[in-house]
Structure 1
Amino acid sequence: MTLPANASVLIIGAGPSGLMMAAQLLRYGIIPVIVDAKQGPTNQSKALAVQARSMEIYRQMGLADRVVSEGKPAAGAAIHIWGKPAAELSLSKAGVGLTPFPYVFMYPQSKNERVLLDYLTLNCCPVYWNTTLQSIVHNADNTEVTLLNNGQEQIVTCNWLIGADGAHSIVRKSAGITFNGDTYQHKFYLADVKLAEGFQDDFVHLFLSSKGFAGFFLMPEAGEYRVVGNIPADLSERESLQIDDVLPHLQQVTGSPVNILQVNWFTSYKLHHRMADKFRSGRSFLIGDAAHIHSPVGGQGMNTGLQDAYNLAWKLAGVLNGKLNVSILNSYADERMPVARDLLNSTDRVFNVVTSQSWANNLFKKYIAPRILKFVGSHDKLKTTFFNQVSQLGINYRDSKLNIHLGKLTKIKAGDRLPFLEIYDEKKQAMTDIHTWCSKPGFTLITVGAIKEDYLFTLAKWITLRYAGTLNFFHLPPSGKNRHVLDAFEIGPGQRKAIIVRPDMYISYMNDVVDIEMMNNYLKNVVGFIPDGAGG
């Protein structure tokens, strides 16, 4: 295929982050150009866990049913110390009521790429494989990118450039953005295997000992596991390691035989923890591993990249469609950099505990860590807190400049993810949920409580005249069937609330007063909407 000469958005990299970026832009009518140096999508499992927040994105896109049918939920984690079971943390009920996906879902990167690639194909957006980035010229009004496509050099001029090209990002280097961080001291291996005798549960099993560590992560296929472990010092310099080389050490760590029937993939590598000091430079943006890389603890890496794309795409589409002021693009780095920094720090701390072989750390792992895990496992509130952290449901943008919080609400605030709440739709006389109300592209205004019908009509008319196609509208009147929703938003008898939800299902505006002028002022002057109609 011949590359187009011009593109509104050029995405370099067709891994999960780049594919999600393209898919999200397509939801808003923007057809990007996406290229990748590989010959095609990966057939290696690579990243394994899809967290609940990412599953909610797939649900909004209408892809969740397929994803659920092709993966497997993990029931929790079990720790083995010096070969003996020490503690379990069951997460089977920790997320119930918080999300439609109350589990950590095992769905390899290869399958994520396939489902997103199929979405692009259905929307007539090809990926230009075997296309390498040669050079970038940054201009004030556009970016000229020289690409080598199947051996032929072509120049693509784009309005916006997305670097989803991984840890060695050429987009990042071209923009002169530093990638601060370090490389972990130890070397590790990863093996996707089929075991003769697997575990009799759906837990992730982590083995810790004075020899090192090993993790067994269940995969969707029966009897198959991802095995991750440290390479012992005497093998660290050996070339072309194979599973048979590390198997004796693995069995020392687990304290029992590990019978492998089949090896689907084996690789050895060093891990890095790094973060770009900027996520944007002019007309270039960084997402996913191009912006941040960290240890695989908690299965956060791929999910953070998916969330990067989810955050940026609606803002960029709004600018390209002439609906949002270009200044909104500043909020991408403002919102996502603190998230990446916090994840980098937290995963780094946990990973150092797991891998360190110091005497103090071995004492901690042997005697203290199991007690902590048992304590957390015996307290539902602590398990829920842990699940919120791992699932990324707890990530918020409360400090974002896009938020306005007016009112006495203390539990849920502007900047929080919209909570998942089942609701009885009085209009349709059927059960649904508040996330489904926000499934269409664009912002969503939800009014809750006692509001006169003529004012609801005025609201609908205002939206139609000024924000048609960009602001969806739903109203939830007070009723016994929806009392839990009113309680969640702390709405008492005779009270009401206006809630504006962003396209990425974060609350951006909350007010105890339902007032058109205040909402219009917020949308125009805070978000940067360019309303329809003269006088906006």
Structure 2
Amino acid sequence: MISVPQHTSVLIVGAGPSGLMMAAQLLRNGVQPVIIDIKQGPTNQSKALAVQARSLEIYRQLGIVDKIISEGKQAGGLAFNMGGEQLVSISLKDMGEPQTLFPFIHLYPQSKNERALLEYLTTACCPVYWETTLISLTRNNNTLQVSMQNGNTTFKLSCDYIIGADGAHSVVRKQLGIPFTGDTYQHKFYLADIELASAMDGRQVNLFVGKSGFAGFFPMPQEGSFRVVASLPDGLEDREYLQLSDVLPELENITRAKIEVDHINWFTTYKLHHRMAEKFSDGRCFLIGDAAHIHSPVGGQGMNTGLQDAYNLGWKLAAVVNGQIKEDILGSYAAERVPVAKDLLNTTDHMFNVITSRSWFSGLLKRYVIPNALKLVWKNESMRGYFFKQVSQTGISYRDSKINLQLGHSGKIKAGDRLPYLEIYDEKKKAKTDIHAWCNKPGFTLITLGEIKESFLFTLAKWITQDYNGNINFFHLPPSENNQHIFDVFEVKTGARKALIIRPDMHIGYINDAVDIEMMNNYLRNIVGFIS
């Protein structure tokens, strides 16, 4: 029989990537959650494969990115094939430079993501209660009462907040009665993790399209291993107990190549859905990841979006639980993440429908329009950079959020945007660092730019220490030839100043051309909701 506390501030239901990241973010910010999952343990199936740059930036903050980089590999390129002919091939290598420290698509399966996060939780002495099912959820004023079952034992637990990270069939969402609207794609698909004897580029994503369907070969970290995602051939969609050998003839027909398989690690058939919860929060209950939204696998966005859901909500919830920020800030989670999910759902849906459609018009698009469009985009540096921003999720902005404040000159970078990645030369230490590294510690970060007297810098440091009890980190960057590019990016003219307050999720919360304590205090107290 397991021993679960009778009360917890936060209960997380679901220990997939989103739930584990949620627990990691709470722990990083000083809150110990309880996390349960119906499964026996972490998945041993690869599932999601791509880790985008924005997720790697989150892993860097957690201090575990080196492990993730060393155990995966960078996607080197993308080839688009039709009728046995390669219509276009583009390089994906370091395509996002200099936008991020991780300017690539990293191939690192979900199973390894889960284990990396579990190691982080274990180090912080936060167990996952496996084989534990949520039976019921009731609300009593500001307390939530849940009934759970482990084996033959049923037990109760009270909590202040509950996070539904329990996937597309979320029990939390169903208990709350939140509709999960959307649709199911027409055709059925199969997924296979295989080791190939036949030659295929182990760093290149190969997409094959034909009149009868499509197939994608995605290289996995292990040499010679590939994830194959393909449409199920006509005539097999209703057959039970399918094996790879049943679909291999059609796969070879689409690829126009002999597929020699050394070993099959995983084979499954499934229907794909695109659905979204009507709302992402209800009182003290929140939905993240697949419990809130599911969509097609185009672009490797699903797992990464769930990780960002947790990243967005985690610091806010921890600040409320710790009594630092008023509870009103929790309303910004849904306000910021629902538009992201809607845009993603629409984009991936349109792209997936084009790729999987068997109409003559779609065939024309795939043979002539898509390859030429890719060639055009890749020749143009700015268009290539835009493409990377969308895929990497570094382009996500919360400019319309009510917890941001833009003052002074309105430049290219605004409050709500992700803090751009910029290298910094530390004049005192005579060493290189970067602006993201300045935001590695939990909490908000104040960054001032320009010529500021040392006495006023001491005043700023004293204000932060006395009024915010160490919950705001502080860095100052004076003008220098080595760091002029940073002043150019933030449009700080000679002799001018700028103040930035960076949220814990590395989005800019506040920008002002003046370094004014009263204005910053107004932002932190009245807009963010810091408690005196």
- Which residue does 2:180 correspond to in 1? 179
In 2, Cα distance between equivalents of 1:92 and 1:234: 39
* Mapping of residues 327-366 of structure 1, within 5 Å: 327-366=328-367
- Which residue does 2:305 correspond to in 1? 304
- Which residue does 2:412 correspond to in 1? 411
- Which residue does 1:524 correspond to in 2? 525
1:322-365 per-residue CA deviation (whole Å, 9 max, x = no partner) reads 00000000000000000000000000000000000011111111
- Which residue does 1:262 correspond to in 2? 263
Residue pair 1:497, 1:510 contacting (<8 A) in 2 also: yes
* Mapping of residues 39-54 of structure 1, within 5 Å: 39-54=40-55
- Which residue does 2:294 correspond to in 1? 293
Residue pair 2:202, 2:223 contacting (<8 A) in 1 also: no
- Which residue does 2:153 correspond to in 1? 152
| Counterpart AA for 1:61 | L
Secondary structure at 1:498's aligned position in 2? Answer: strand
Residue pair 1:180, 1:277 contacting (<8 A) in 2 also: yes
* Mapping of residues 160-309 of structure 1, within 5 Å: 160-200=161-201, 202-309=203-310
1:142-182 per-residue CA deviation (whole Å, 9 max, x = no partner) reads 11110002321010100000000000101001111100100
Residue pair 1:409, 1:489 contacting (<8 A) in 2 also: no
* Mapping of residues 450-469 of structure 1, within 5 Å: 450-469=451-470
Secondary structure at 2:436's aligned position in 1? Answer: helix
Give the C-alpha shift of residue 52 in structure 1: 0.2
| Counterpart AA for 1:32 | P
* Mapping of residues 450-489 of structure 1, within 5 Å: 450-489=451-490
* Mapping of residues 383-532 of structure 1, within 5 Å: 383-531=384-532
Residue pair 1:133, 1:146 contacting (<8 A) in 2 also: yes
In 1, Cα distance between equivalents of 2:272 and 2:438: 41
Secondary structure at 1:334's aligned position in 2? Answer: helix
Does 2:130 correspond to 1:129?
yes
Unaligned runs of 5+ in 2: none
1:428-447 per-residue CA deviation (whole Å, 9 max, x = no partner) reads 33210000000000000000
Residue pair 1:7, 1:157 contacting (<8 A) in 2 also: yes
Give the C-alpha shift of residue 202 in structure 1: 1.4
In 1, Cα distance between equivalents of 2:280 and 2:116: 27
In 1, Cα distance between equivalents of 2:93 and 2:383: 14
In 2, Cα distance between equivalents of 1:444 and 1:374: 41
Residue pair 1:91, 1:383 contacting (<8 A) in 2 also: no
In 1, Cα distance between equivalents of 2:149 and 2:83: 52
- Which residue does 2:108 correspond to in 1? 107
Secondary structure at 2:259's aligned position in 1? Answer: coil
Give the C-alpha shift of residue 201 in structure 1: 5.2
Residue pair 1:498, 1:514 contacting (<8 A) in 2 also: yes
1:268-302 per-residue CA deviation (whole Å, 9 max, x = no partner) reads 00000000010001111000000000000000000
Give the C-alpha shift of residue 222 in structure 1: 0.2
Secondary structure at 1:87's aligned position in 2? Answer: strand
Secondary structure at 2:235's aligned position in 1? Answer: helix
Secondary structure at 2:120's aligned position in 1? Answer: helix
Secondary structure at 1:383's aligned position in 2? Answer: helix
Residue pair 1:94, 1:380 contacting (<8 A) in 2 also: no
In 1, Cα distance between equivalents of 2:234 and 2:77: 31
In 2, Cα distance between equivalents of 1:466 and 1:428: 29
Greater than 4 Å deviation, 4+ residue runs:
none
In 2, Cα distance between equivalents of 1:197 and 1:388: 34
- Which residue does 2:78 correspond to in 1? 77
Residue pair 1:95, 1:384 contacting (<8 A) in 2 also: yes
Q: Normalising to structure 1: TM-score of the pair?
A: 0.98
Give the C-alpha shift of residue 411 in structure 1: 1.2
In 1, Cα distance between equivalents of 2:267 and 2:299: 21
In 2, Cα distance between equivalents of 1:350 and 1:398: 26
| Counterpart AA for 2:463 | W
In 2, Cα distance between equivalents of 1:197 and 1:527: 57
Residue pair 2:107, 2:220 contacting (<8 A) in 1 also: yes
In 2, Cα distance between equivalents of 1:409 and 1:445: 19
| Counterpart AA for 1:89 | I
- Which residue does 2:143 correspond to in 1? 142
1:422-469 per-residue CA deviation (whole Å, 9 max, x = no partner) reads 001233332100000000000000001111111111000000001122
Residue pair 1:206, 1:216 contacting (<8 A) in 2 also: yes
Give the C-alpha shift of residue 368 in structure 1: 1.5
In 2, Cα distance between equivalents of 1:530 and 1:258: 63
1:86-118 per-residue CA deviation (whole Å, 9 max, x = no partner) reads 102222242111111110000000000000000
Residue pair 2:202, 2:224 contacting (<8 A) in 1 also: no
In 1, Cα distance between equivalents of 2:204 and 2:441: 35
Percent identity over the alignment is 62
Residue pair 1:396, 1:416 contacting (<8 A) in 2 also: yes
In 1, Cα distance between equivalents of 2:202 and 2:131: 42
1:175-216 per-residue CA deviation (whole Å, 9 max, x = no partner) reads 111001000010000000001124235111100111210000
- Which residue does 1:534 correspond to in 2? none
Give the C-alpha shift of residue 40 in structure 1: 0.5
In 2, Cα distance between equivalents of 1:513 and 1:262: 63
In 2, Cα distance between equivalents of 1:215 and 1:86: 15
Residue pair 1:297, 1:347 contacting (<8 A) in 2 also: yes
- Which residue does 1:28 correspond to in 2? 29
Residue pair 1:24, 1:314 contacting (<8 A) in 2 also: yes
- Relative to structure 2, which stretch is displaced further, 277-286 or 408-417? 408-417
| Counterpart AA for 1:315 | K
In 1, Cα distance between equivalents of 2:385 and 2:357: 28
Residue pair 2:83, 2:254 contacting (<8 A) in 1 also: yes
- Relative to structure 2, which stretch is displaced further, 150-159 or 110-119? 150-159
| Counterpart AA for 2:507 | Y
Secondary structure at 2:299's aligned position in 1? Answer: helix
Give the C-alpha shift of residue 244 in structure 1: 0.3
- Which residue does 1:372 correspond to in 2? 373
Q: What is the total number of aligned residue pairs between the two structures?
A: 531
Residue pair 2:296, 2:349 contacting (<8 A) in 1 also: yes
